[in-house]
């Protein structure tokens, strides 16, 4: 059977077209005690995509398919607008984004930060879409529709293609539904495959469930905590045509279930999902979808544009009245022992293999430290070297050189990680700056405190401090020698 409008070949072509512009986002299998309610669940962490949601895929595929379009116009509750603005800036084009009043202020500010013009176009998404349509009709520009454009749906379908590659053998994929572009693309990829694609919608705005029940797209009221991203009043015609044939059904969940799923992701794995991003998981958490025994379920966590303050809820009490915390895997338990020069050589080799252009802590550094400080190895029970920890004399005299590959693989996965220590002495290297930004962003998104320590042995200046302050760094202390050369500095980035 041919999928109406979008085929696997279209999605393959989209994947090739956008490969250099988007991230291949990770998957995360959940353990039995994770937020997957004890089922065999794999999360597709699409909230780690550029701009914080899957939308960058469709935006880039559309824009690259229309190379002559100088002005891109979109209506969006936030995430689609972010993606179009980001793609326009990357491709040197102008973007005008119409947003509804219900859109989150954090999303509007980020859209503007990408250089787009932001226009409030009414109370709800439908109003913003009408305003965008009128602008294109009267002033020109190319409209990038979030779920009625073939190129956008094909781009979103690359989420399914990646999930199929990274987690083969799934029985079911749960996908949050707004206007239907994401679920349509994923369903098009899995068409004629033995994989159930099931939509999950807020009970307060469930346009796909209503359309499937009525046999055609119908208008529904839009309310609830996920309205800024899943607030379409009517499913798109293209999305409905695909969903009618290739989506098994769409289940609905309450706002309370969405909030519970959102906090579960945060508390158990330090995954900061917005309400719309947590909606698919809410089907499992609430029992709206109950997998059969042995069923393998994929859950798309589709967005992470959330105010972290909204996740600042108290941890639920555990036995004995203590706050519940995640437990590390036994092989990730960290032990400490005295360091040797061989440990420095081992860590240098590990980091050079991961980011070879960065000037990591080396044997000469550790030899100096061994003579002047206490040096400790942080090593996992599984035998992985996590970091070298250095304690100098005096206030603010802490330093660490981290195994970056080990950190990047684990950050955000475990609630027991409160603080991470990062070697920040490579700010003069372009690759090092990108790595630092990546680590700083990951740590902040995971709700960690990030201790940044630096040993540079360069003339003291304010440039380094200003660089760190861009990431929320607060200097706690430093050591300099008699000539004014910095020996070490340490601070905290929140």
- 58-83 mean pLDDT: 91
Instruction: State both tokens at 193.
Output: 């495959």
310 and 379: one domain?
no
| Cα–Cα distance measured from residue 50 to residue 383, given in angstroms and rounded to the nearest whole number | 34
What percent of the chain is modeled with pLDDT above 70? 64
Residue with the bigger pLDDT between 257 and 36: it is 257
Q: Read off the pLDDT of residues 378-417 as tens digits, 9 standing for 90 and up.
A: 676 667 776 666 555 443 344 456 565 555 555 433 333 3
Q: What is the pLDDT of residue 194?
A: 92
Distance of CA 399 to the CA centre of its chain: 29
- If one counts every other C-beta atom within 10 angstroms of the C-beta of residue 476, the result is 16
Instruction: State both tokens at 221.
Output: 């009221």
Beta strands in 356-471 (DSSP E): 374-380, 385-391, 398-402, 419-423, 449-454
Is residue 220 within 8 A of residue 196, CB to CB? The reply is: no
Instruction: State both tokens at 354.
Output: 């991961």
Domain residues for the domain of 193 are: 1-324
182 and 125: one domain?
yes
388 and 290: one domain?
no
- Angle in degrees, 0-180, between the axes of helices 255-269 and 275-286, rounded to the nearest 10: 100
pLDDT band at 227 (very low <50, low <70, confident <90, very high): confident
| Cα–Cα distance measured from residue 175 to residue 369, given in angstroms and rounded to the nearest whole number | 52
- 330-345 mean pLDDT: 66
3-state secondary structure of 295: coil
pLDDT at 313 exceeding the cut of 80 = no
3-state secondary structure of 224: coil
Is residue 199 within 8 A of residue 250, CB to CB? The reply is: yes
| Cα–Cα distance measured from residue 284 to residue 39, given in angstroms and rounded to the nearest whole number | 9
| Cα–Cα distance measured from residue 55 to residue 333, given in angstroms and rounded to the nearest whole number | 37
Is residue 449 within 8 A of residue 441, CB to CB? The reply is: no
317 and 337: one domain?
no
341 and 442: one domain?
yes
- 441-470 mean pLDDT: 48
318 and 348: one domain?
no
**Residue at a domain's end among 264, 294, 324:** 324
pTM for this predicted structure? 0.63
- For residue 477, the cross-strand partners are 490
Stretch among 152-156, 215-219, 240-244, 383-387 having the lowest mean pLDDT:
383-387
Instruction: State both tokens at 469.
Output: 């302050």
204 and 277: one domain?
yes
Cα dihedral value 52, 155, 176, 1, nearest 10: -170
- For residue 227, the cross-strand partners are none
pLDDT at 254 exceeding the cut of 50 = yes
Stretch among 100-104, 346-350, 406-410 having the lowest mean pLDDT:
406-410
- For residue 336, give the nearest of 392, 383, 381, 376 by alpha carbon: 376
299 and 211: one domain?
yes
pLDDT band at 188 (very low <50, low <70, confident <90, very high): very high
CATH of the domain at 210: 3.40.50.1100
Number of domains within the chain: 2
Distance of CA 473 to the CA centre of its chain: 22
**Residue at a domain's end among 324, 344, 373:** 324
CATH of the domain at 352: 3.40.630
Q: Read off the pLDDT of residues 46-56 as tens digits, 9 standing for 90 and up.
A: 999 998 899 99
pLDDT band at 4 (very low <50, low <70, confident <90, very high): low
Instruction: State both tokens at 38.
Output: 């004890």
- If one counts every other C-beta atom within 10 angstroms of the C-beta of residue 475, the result is 14
224 and 298: one domain?
yes
Q: What is the pLDDT of residue 379?
A: 72
Distance of CA 118 to the CA centre of its chain: 23
Q: What is the DSSP letter of 315?
A: P
163 and 285: one domain?
yes
356 and 255: one domain?
no
170 and 80: one domain?
yes
**Residue at a domain's end among 324, 354, 386:** 324
Is residue 114 within 8 A of residue 86, CB to CB? The reply is: yes
Residues in the chain: 494
């Amino acid at each position: 059977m041919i999928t109406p409008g979008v085929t696997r070949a279209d999605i393959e072509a989209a994947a090739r077209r956008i490969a250099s512009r988007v991230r291949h986002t990770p998957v995360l299998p959940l353990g039995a005690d994770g937020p997957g309610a004890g089922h065999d669940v794999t999360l597709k962490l699409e909230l780690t995509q550029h701009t914080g949601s899957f939308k960058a895929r469709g935006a880039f595929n559309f824009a690259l398919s229309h190379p002559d379009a100088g002005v891109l116009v979109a209506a969006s509750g936030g995430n689609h607008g972010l993606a179009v603005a980001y793609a326009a800036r990357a491709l040197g084009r102008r973007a005008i984004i119409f947003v509804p009043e219900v859109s989150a202020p954090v999303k509007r500010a980020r859209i503007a930060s990408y250089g787009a013009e932001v226009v409030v176009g009414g109370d709800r998404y439908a109003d913003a879409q009408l305003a965008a349509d009128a602008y294109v009709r009267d002033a020109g520009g190319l409209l990038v529709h979030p779920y009625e454009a073939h190129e956008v749906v094909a781009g979103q379908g690359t989420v399914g293609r990646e999930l199929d590659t990274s987690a083969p053998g799934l029985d079911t994929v749960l996908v949050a539904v707004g206007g239907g572009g994401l679920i349509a693309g994923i369903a098009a990829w899995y068409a004629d495959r033995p994989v159930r694609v099931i939509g999950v919608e807020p009970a307060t705005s469930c346009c796909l469930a209503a359309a499937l029940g009525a046999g055609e797209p119908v208008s529904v009221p839009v309310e609830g905590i996920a309205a800024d991203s899943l607030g379409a009043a009517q499913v798109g015609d293209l999305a409905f045509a695909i969903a009618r044939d290739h989506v098994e059904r769409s289940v609905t969940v309450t706002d309370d279930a969405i909030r519970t799923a959102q906090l579960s992701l945060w508390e158990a794995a330090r995954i900061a999902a917005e309400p719309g991003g947590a909606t698919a998981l809410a089907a499992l958490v609430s029992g709206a979808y109950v997998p059969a025994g042995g069923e393998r379920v994929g859950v798309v966590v589709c967005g992470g544009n959330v105010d972290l303050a909204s996740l600042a809820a108290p941890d639920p009490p555990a036995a004995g009245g203590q706050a519940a915390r995640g437990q590390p895997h036994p092989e990730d338990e960290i032990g400490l022992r005295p360091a040797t020069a061989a440990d420095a050589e081992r860590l240098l080799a590990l980091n050079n293999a991961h980011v070879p252009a960065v000037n990591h802590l080396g044997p000469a550094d550790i030899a100096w430290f061994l003579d002047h400080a206490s040096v400790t190895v942080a090593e996992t029970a599984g035998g992985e070297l996590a970091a070298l920890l250095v304690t100098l004399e005096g206030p603010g005299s802490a330093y660490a050189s981290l195994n970056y590959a080990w950190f990047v693989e684990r950050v955000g996965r475990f609630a027991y990680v409160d603080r991470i220590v990062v070697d920040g002495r490579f700010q003069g290297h372009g690759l090092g700056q990108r790595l630092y930004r990546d680590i700083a962003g990951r740590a902040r998104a995971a709700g960690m405190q990030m201790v940044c320590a630096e040993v540079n042995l360069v003339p003291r200046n304010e440039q380094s401090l200003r660089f760190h302050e861009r990431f929320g760094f607060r200097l706690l202390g430093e050591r300099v020698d008699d000539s004014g050369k910095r020996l070490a500095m340490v601070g905290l980035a929140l």
